[in-house]
Amino acid sequence: MEKDLKSKTVAQLERLVTGLGQPKYLAGYIFSAIQARGVTDISAITTLSKSFRAKLVEEGFYISKLEIVDKLTDPDGTVKYVFGLSDGGRIESVLLFDDDRRTLCVSTQAGCAMGCVFCATGRLGLARNLTAGEIVDQVNIAGGDTRISNVVFMGMGEPLANYEAVLDAVRILNNSAGRNIGIRHLTMSTCGLVEGIERLADEDIQPRLAISLNAPTDAIRRKLMPITKKYPLDRLFAAIERYQRATRNRVTFEYCLIKGVNDTVLHAQMLVKRLLAPLEKTAIRNFPANRRFLTGCRVMCNVNLIEYNPHEGCDLKPSGRQAIERFAGVLKDAGIETTIRLKMGQTINAACGQLGSKRTENLE
């Protein structure tokens, strides 16, 4: 049994306290003390009796806490946190500012096993999965006393490869007695683990879904993302369609533009063809007539274009601004909602694909 109380949802805490012969409502006291007030010592949960607090400690329960190893600030305001884990490992989180919005990019694994060639984290390999408590604590610490507007599970690791802990973290962050972050402001990003996408479609809680796509064809995608060998694009899109039939949620496609690899007008035209492929009649029947699906788009989506961010050990080159704008123009002309994402946090290796690369000196 997981002994870290920070990793537990309210439902899990209810089962725990009743199993120890206590009334169920005490679970709410424990949850709010940890997730809303930041208590890290069981003895400080004074809404519980002294005897029950002692019982929890005797049974081996505790409240974990990440340690900040380093904090780096980019001139553009982006902040990168380097956290130390209890076993000596390290993970990174990135806080982004956009007007009044504060978006935190959190890690779900120490390292990553997916091996995407454009991603520094993939070069590390996988050390281990993070617990729900370690995922949530990134938000607790980076947020401090202020509100995090959005949490994106797009840091180190593949969220759907750590499914249970990540979904527990979603439930914890979404709970009104804790951080109370709306489900529409919680986004999972995946390289395309089909079973995880299909499983997510059947959950009673459904965060937003983002797909790291990066290529319009299997041949190109296989060179960038080894997972394509197991899950070709047709299989991936079938899973996305199933997810959308169940959730009615729009999907974001993330597309990292790499010079000479996936960034030409022809590549953009091939991407349009894939996104506008005919939708199965069964899927059409399941969507209301005012949905974008009936305009011919295979999936209800938007596309985020991200210029490749260089990192040590990889000789890929970023596309120039003109190539990015040409690519975006093709998508927009086809009626596909498209956004060019600004580079943020590059000088501290906090930009997309740079987490886990060689750390730079502290710029604070």
- Domain assignment present for 292: yes
- Domain assignment present for 72: yes
Q: 298: domain CATH number? A: 3.20.20.70
Cα dihedral 31/148/92/6 (nearest 10): 0
Active-site residue, from 14, 92, 134, 241? 92
If asked whether residues 154 and 19 sit together in one domain, one would say no
If asked whether residues 138 and 204 sit together in one domain, one would say yes
Model pLDDT for residues 74-92, shown as the tens digit of each residue: 999 999 999 999 999 999 9
Active-site residue, from 195, 254, 352, 364? 352
- Domain assignment present for 284: yes
- Domain assignment present for 119: yes
Number of domains in the chain: 2
If asked whether residues 35 and 175 sit together in one domain, one would say no
Q: Please say if 314 is a catalytic residue.
A: no
Neighbours of 325 (CB within 10 A): 12
Please return the burial class of 47, using the count of CB atoms within 10 Å of its CB with bins 0-12, 13-18 and 19+.
exposed
Q: Please say if 134 is a catalytic residue.
A: no
If asked whether residues 296 and 324 sit together in one domain, one would say yes
Give the contacts of 47 (CB within 8 A, at least 6 positions apart): 26, 29, 33
Q: What is the pTM of this model?
A: 0.92
Q: 42: domain CATH number? A: 1.10.150.530
If asked whether residues 45 and 150 sit together in one domain, one would say no
If asked whether residues 190 and 306 sit together in one domain, one would say yes
Query: Tens digit of pLDDT per residue, the chain (364 long)?
Result: 789 999 999 999 999 999 999 999 999 999 999 999 999 999 999 999 999 999 999 999 999 999 999 999 999 999 999 999 999 999 999 999 988 899 999 999 999 999 999 999 998 999 999 999 999 999 999 988 678 999 999 999 999 999 999 999 999 999 999 999 999 999 999 999 999 999 999 999 999 999 999 999 999 999 999 999 999 999 999 999 999 999 999 999 999 999 999 999 999 999 999 998 765 443 434 444 334 443 455 679 999 999 999 888 889 999 999 999 999 999 999 999 999 998 889 889 988 999 998 643 333 3
Range of the domain at 210: 67-348
Give the contacts of 16 (CB within 8 A, at least 6 positions apart): 8, 27
If asked whether residues 103 and 52 sit together in one domain, one would say no
If asked whether residues 51 and 89 sit together in one domain, one would say no
Greatest Cα-to-Cα distance within the chain, rounded to the nearest angstrom: 69
